[in-house]
A and B are shown apart, each in its own frame.
Chain A
Amino acid sequence: MSIGLGVEVGGTGRRSVGADSFSTWTPAIFFGKGFGDLPDELRFLKPLALTGQLGIAIPTSASTRSVSVDIETGERDIEVERHPDVLEWGFALEYSIIYLQSQVQDIHLRAPFDRLIPLVEFALETPLNRGAQGQTTGTINPGIMWAGKYFQVGVEAIVPINERTGKNVGVIAQLHFFLDDLFPHSLGRPLFGGNK
């Protein structure tokens, strides 16, 4: 388990692309638990791992006002957008074929299937106040990853949990490089303690 603090710095992006003029602070806790300590009777569940996070996004501004003027009538229209504190919560459940074959039971899967990690992620947001409390939005993202020596690739579907979130299914792909393996003598070296 660990804790962290995320800061989305306001006023650093163009309003035309939806950037906020205010900052948002998100203290969060992160947790992870492998199931490798299950008894041998449940050994095929040992490759499961659960990771998750729980945080509260706190905007530094409770609301923003935008004023528009009707050119013909000269009337001013003031629009107030409220920014609630938001509970950000999510978790991912994954099953490592790599762990299964190297620590539990060799089921003789060979490359490339021996490096697969099927997973499902849940990413959810629940506003806590300012008239939006309880209106949870989020997605469920089932997918699969392939982890190699120096990088991993993954693809996930993005399924909205309700109509408030959206109606269409999306897809996201990701490519991660393992910098400590790519650059073991520079970026991958510990800052302290040498290589022991």
Chain B
Amino acid sequence: MKRVILSCVFIILAESARLEAHAFLQRAEPGVGSTAQIAPAEVRIWFTENIEPTLSTIQVFAASGKEVDKHDLHLDRSDNALLHVSLPRLGAGTYKVVWRVVSVDTHVTNGSFTFRVGH
């Protein structure tokens, strides 16, 4: 039994040099479920893993269902786990952010959240 346990530990340690994981949302600006008094110029999402930007999307929709982001999703210059997408000047209302990202280990994750502008 000891040999089996030791073998398992060895395998885990051997693989740990290249451990990778699913990318989940860690933090966002505007914040998840938040209300911004001043319309944000962009949506920024920090993920738990480095992202492959060419295979990832972040879309921002108005309450009417119309997509309002500027289709310019890009990775942060200094942080490979941070994605940006620019916004036009938003009016008051509720907006939905829908994200789908591929982490560098090719795992796909997705999610959504809302934020409000104005009162």
Query: Contacts A184-B20, A184-B105, A195-B106 given: A102-B113 contact, CB under 8 Å?
Result: yes
Answer yes or no: B24 CB below 8 A from chain A CBs. Answer: yes
Provide the bound-state CA to CA distance between A104 and B111, in Å: 10
User: CB-nearest residue of chain B relative to A186?
Assistant: B15
Residues of B at the A interface (CB closer than 8 Å) are: 12, 15-16, 18-22, 24-28, 31-34, 48, 105-107, 111-114
A83 contacts the other chain (CB 8 A): no
Please classify how large the interface on chain A is, using the bins under 10, 10 to 19, 20 to 34, 35 or more: 20 to 34
If over half of B's interface residues share one DSSP class (helix, strand or loop), that class is named, otherwise mixed; here it is loop
> Out of B12, B28, B31, B106, which one reaches A182, CB within 8 Å?
B12
Complex interface: chain B residues within 8 A of A101 (CB): 32
Q: Total A-B residue pairs with C-beta atoms closer than 8 Å?
A: 54
Q: A149: CB under 8 A from chain B?
A: yes
Q: A185: which B residues are within 8 A, CB to CB? A: 18
Task: Determine how close the nearest CB of chain B comes to the CB of A95; give it in whole angstroms.
Answer: 16
Instruction: Determine the distance from Cα of A178 to Cα of B38 in the docked complex, in whole angstroms.
Output: 41
**Which A residues lie at the B interface, using CB under 8 A?**
40, 43, 98, 101-106, 149-150, 177-178, 180-186, 195-196
Pairwise interchain contact B19-A43, C-beta atoms closer than 8 A = no
Contact between chains at A106 and B34 (CB < 8 Å): yes
Contact B33 A106 (CB under 8 A): yes
Give the complex CA separation of A182 and B33 in angstroms.
Answer: 32
Measured between C-beta atoms, what is the minimum distance from B68 to chain A in Å?
19
From the candidates A43, A102, A177, A178, name the one contacting B24 in the complex (CB within 8 A): A102
The answer on a CB contact under 8 Å between A181 and B32 is no
B19 pairs with A181, CB closer than 8 A: yes
- Residues of chain B within 8 A (CB-CB) of A98 are 24
